[in-house]
């Protein structure tokens, strides 16, 4: 995981009470993990302000407990067999979660670093 932001960065961007009752260190760690997962290109050093702002937004969402939320599994179909050796089969819908306003804003800020750069050439052997 890459450390794009620190608690001090988020304090400077959002103010000292941004985390509310959440854990600031854990929220920033979650934001760094989220950014590491999303960013696919090399980031210059020092980290650009857009990425720090995005990280601050995501850290705030994490402090509210809305970043890595539990997902519910919805049953798409269920089959029950009443013969000897009864069996039950369930098929689940792929879980999806809503993105928060902070996550959508962060994605807009880091858009230049989300897509891989360049062209990949494939050669048939």
The model's pLDDT over 91-122, given as tens digits with 9 standing for 90+, comes to 655 555 667 777 878 888 888 778 766 666 67
88 has which bridge partners?
80
- Three-state SS letters, 50-73: HHHHHHHHHHHHHHCCCCCCCCCC
Q: Which of 76, 107, 106 is nearest to 89 (CA)?
A: 76
φ, ψ for residue 57, nearest 5 deg: -65, -45
Distance from C-alpha of 119 to C-alpha of 103, rounded to nearest angstrom: 28
**pLDDT tens sequence across 55-89:** 999 999 999 988 877 655 566 666 666 677 677 77
| Average pLDDT of the chain, as a whole number | 81
């Amino acid at each position: 995981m890459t450390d794009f932001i620190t608690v001090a960065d988020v304090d400077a961007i959002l103010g000292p009470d941004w985390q509310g009752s959440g854990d600031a260190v854990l929220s920033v760690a979650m934001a760094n993990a989220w950014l590491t997962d999303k960013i696919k290109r090399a980031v210059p050093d020092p980290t650009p302000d857009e990425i720090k702002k995005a990280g601050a937004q995501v850290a705030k969402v994490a402090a509210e407990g809305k970043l890595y939320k539990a997902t519910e599994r919805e049953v798409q179909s269920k089959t029950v067999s009443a013969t000897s050796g009864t069996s039950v089969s369930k098929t689940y819908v792929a879980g999806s979660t809503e993105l928060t306003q902070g996550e959508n804003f962060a994605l807009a800020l880091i858009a230049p670093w989300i897509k891989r750069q360049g062209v990949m050439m494939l050669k048939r052997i």
